[in-house]
Each structure stands twice: as C-alpha cells, then as structure tokens.
Amino acid sequence: MSDSCPHDAFKHLRAANPVLPATFRGEAIPMLLKFEDVRKAAKDWQTFSSDAPFRVPIPSEEDVRRVRQLPIETDPPEHTGYRKIVEPVFRRPLQPEFIERVEHLIGSLLEAAATRDSIEIVRGFALPLQSRALTYLLNMPESEAALWISWGVHVFRDGGDGTAKGAVLESYLQRKFDEAAASPGEDFFSGLLQAEYEGRPLTREEQVGFANLTFAGGRDTIINTVTWIIGYLAEHPAALEALRADPKLILTATEEFVRIVTPLTHIGRVCPVDTVVGDTTVQAGHRISLCWASANFDETIFEAPEEVRLDRRPNPHIAYGIGTHFCLGAAHARLIVRTLLRKLCAEVQSITLLEAVPNLEVESAYQRHNAWESLTVRFHPVATLPPGRAAEDRVMDGQE
C-alpha cells in the first residue's frame, strides 16, 4: 500500500473549473467542486431539490428499488415532518447504555481478531461491526445481523444483480412489517407501524421507504471509513501512538478521518427550473452533483487538505452533508469511529498490513480511491488476550 490517504481526485479539476462536466450512465450531471458552492447549494433546497424519487443517489436507483426513500428524497415542509418520525431512533447513540453496547461490541471484535494470524477487515470486521451495531440502533435481536452481513458491503451493488438484490431487501422489509403488525414490539418496524404523518398512519409504501434508506444508507460508508482508518493506522504507527499518548486527540481525529475519507463521493439534486451553475445552464428537471469529496479537500478552506492532522481545528467538513438533509446517522457513525479509536488505543499495540486491494470509483470524469476492496492485517495486542470466543469468530466470518 503505497499511500493509505485517499488522494484528492478533484484537485486539478477543481483548479481548472469549479463546475466539472460529468456523465453518469449517459446522463450529463455537472459536479459542484468548491466547498462554498457545495455548501450553499446544499442549503438551497428550493433551487436544488431533493424531491426526486430514485434520483438523489448518483447513479440513480430506479433499477434497484420501487419506493421513494424517506426522508431524504423529499423537501421541506414534507421532509421536516417525515424526519421527526425517525429522529428519536437516530438519537439513541447519545444514550449511555447504547454507548456501552457499542464499546463492548468493538472490544469483543478486536479481542477475537487479535487471536488470529490475520483478518480481512472489510468483510471480516467492518461489515459485522456495522451490521451488529445496526441491530442496536433498530432495537432488534443481534442475531438478525447474520442475514444483513450476507447482503455484503452494499445492499444493492455488492456483487450479483442489483435488481435482484433490491427485490431481496424489499421482500425482507415487507416480511418484517408483517411480523411487527402481528406481534408489535419496541423495534424499528413496530415504531413505523405506529407512527403518524400529518395526523394519519404511514402507508406501507412510506414505511418501506424509511426502512429502505435505513438499510441502504450508512452501510458502505461506515464500512469504508472503518476499513480506511485501520489501514491508515497500520501504515502510520506513529498516529496510533499519538492517539494513545493523548486521548483528547480522539475527538478531533474522528472528524479528521471522516473528512479525509468522505466515503460518499457526492449526492444528486434536481433543478426545478432552468438554473445557471457556473458557466453551465442546467435545464429544468435535470440534476447536479454536490461533490462532498472535492469540497472536503478545498485548499481555500482546509490547510494542507491531503494531510491527516489528528488535531485539525477548525474542521468544517461536510462529509455528513449540511443543511436540511444533514445525515440522520451522523451520531451513530461518530460513535462507531470514536469508539474504534479508543479501543484500538487500549487493546492494540500495532497493526501489520499484509495485503490491500484498493476500492476504485471509476467514472468518465474522474477516478477516486475510495477506501479498500479488501484489507488484510494482523493485530498485535497490547497484552496477551484470552482465546477468542468461537461464536465471535463465526459472526466475523458471516457464518451466523
């Protein structure tokens, strides 16, 4: 691994033109590259709308799902009402008992990994971590994670046919809503069955729209972030030592790692009317891209943006978005990253990198190194750990 820091794929493109002409699946989508332009557009939902079912992600997802994802594919005031329905779920990572569960989870996964000669991090560590932590967020049995692990890193696009994978997810969600209707509980699905929007119960399509986003969003992004951090600390042992020596750095390092990874390259917005963006006129009904991955490396905002500075302050990154659609899962993601760093400092003396295969995002206008397709390491524990539990090992391998 010659350089574990994702390079700024848009550096020279941004210098040449703040708006990059780009094409995705034959659709022309101008990309906003400058921090201030992206920030301003993200806050201007009247000009750059999210009221565009299937078209907020780039590439669009008409081929892999049949429902509008909620609340992300709406604008105010609808978005405000929809968001309030699920906000209590996404505030759970602020609760002490939730934090304790995540700490135990990451500690147990590291403990089991440290008993092995090697572990592949993407599917053997980060994917089980994301899936099992999601059961806590949704107040569901941890055993449910075994199925979610089998879906892979991306619920639609990780191997196989995206349309078929989308149908598998929809079938699962419908079944869970049916089970919750027959036997209500305190879980995510039961909560949506009991929720109301503007004084009426949610329709089944709305319920599935919330659940679809919950399972499709925040999956590969968390996995890629966790994987990249472990790869970086393997290649930069001094960074792990610095965090261990000064635990106060963990808070700023959490934000810096998320900034430099920016696991979601960009997101789409639709222009309701003809709109001039830079020197480009975007026709009504056409899309633009808010390129977080370029904005977070903008040298007019971030000094030496390609350097990892564990103590970077200020750090106004927008990896979680900004404005109305600020990521609902930000607190959950931050907790996972922060806890991972603390547990690594406490339990891992060093990390040996054994093999790394880059995850390359290749498009007509750019090529971006976005974390790792696979990353194999060996953890060296701070002290001798007890033998790893067999059950933990099976979960990490996706067998349970």
- pLDDT (mean) for 73-77: 98
Question: What is the structure's pLDDT at 390?
Answer: 39
Confidence (pLDDT) at 181? 98
| pLDDT interval class at 161 (50, 70, 90) | confident
Taking the C-alpha atoms of residue 79 and residue 77, their distance in angstroms, rounded to an integer, is: 5
Across 17-30, average pLDDT: 96
Reported as a single tens digit per residue, the pLDDT across 199-258 is 999 999 999 999 999 999 989 999 999 999 999 999 999 999 999 999 999 999 999 999
d(CA 224, CA 78): 31
Place domain 11-389 in its CATH homologous superfamily: Cytochrome P450 (1.10.630.10)
Asked if the model's pLDDT at residue 87 lies above 80, the reply is yes
Question: At 395, is the pLDDT very low, low, confident or very high (cuts 50, 70, 90)?
Answer: very low
Predicted model pTM: 0.93
Among the residues of the chain, which ranges form H helices? 11-16, 35-43, 78-90, 96-113, 121, 127-137, 145-150, 162-182, 188-194, 204-216, 220-235, 237-245, 249-261, 292-295, 330-347, 390-396
3-class secondary-structure state, position 201: strand
| Per-residue H/E/C for 351-379 | EEEEEEEEEEEECCCCEEEEEEEEEEEEE
Percentage of the chain modeled with pLDDT above 90: 91
Q: Please tell me the predicted confidence (pLDDT) of residue 158.
A: 85
Give the model confidence (pLDDT) of 325-339 as tens digits. 999 999 999 999 999
